[in-house]
């Protein structure tokens, strides 16, 4: 059994409060003058010290990291649109990455097939992140 903690699974990404720019790091909540301020901070894993920025974010765009990577070595986040390769004959299906808080599990949601458990026996060579529900663009990348 691998007892090493995957620190990537604690990461989040979200869009800036003031722009469409994405920030990646650790989630923080501050209360300033009775207003909740949500931020992402870049943290050094080795000693957990705050690094370069502490960026205010738009909370509605917050996406948790699954701790898994796709075939291009990109981290897979909640609300990412992914292309999942079934096999060479059937090709692939697309869906949105979802975290189910009730059952504490990750899955891909597809309009036709419903919930598809691509994370149970995860194979990064079958998963490609092609976008996010908060972006207008979806990549046309193929396997």
At 128, the pLDDT band (50, 70, 90 cuts) reads very high
DSSP string, the chain: ------GGGG-EEEEBSSSS-EEEEEEEEEEETTEEEEEEEEEETTTTEEEEEEEEB-GGG-EEEEEEE-TTSPEEETTEEEEEEEETTTEEEEEEEEEETTTTEEEEEETTTEEE--STT--GGGEEEEEETTSS-------
User: pLDDT digits over 86-126, tens only?
Assistant: 888 888 999 999 999 998 999 999 998 889 898 888 999 99
Domain ranges in the chain are 7-61, 65-132
User: pLDDT digits over 33-48, tens only?
Assistant: 777 888 877 766 666 6
For the entire predicted model, the pTM comes to 0.83
**Which fold would CATH assign to domain 65-132?**
SH3 type barrels. (2.30.30)
At 83, the pLDDT band (50, 70, 90 cuts) reads very high
């Amino acid at each position: 059994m691998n007892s090493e903690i995957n620190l990537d699974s604690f990461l989040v990404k979200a869009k800036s409060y003031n722009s469409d720019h994405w920030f990646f790091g650790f989630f923080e909540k501050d209360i300033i003058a009775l207003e909740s301020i949500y931020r992402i901070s870049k943290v050094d894993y080795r000693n957990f010290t705050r690094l370069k920025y502490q960026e205010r974010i738009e909370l509605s765009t917050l996406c948790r990291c699954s701790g898994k990577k796709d075939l291009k070595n990109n981290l897979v986040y909640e609300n990412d649109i992914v292309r999942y390769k079934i096999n060479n004959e059937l090709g692939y299906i697309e869906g949105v990455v979802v975290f189910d808080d009730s059952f504490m599990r990750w899955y891909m949601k597809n309009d036709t097939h419903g919930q598809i458990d691509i994370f149970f026996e995860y194979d990064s060579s079958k998963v490609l992140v092609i976008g996010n529900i908060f972006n207008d663009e979806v990549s046309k990348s193929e396997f």
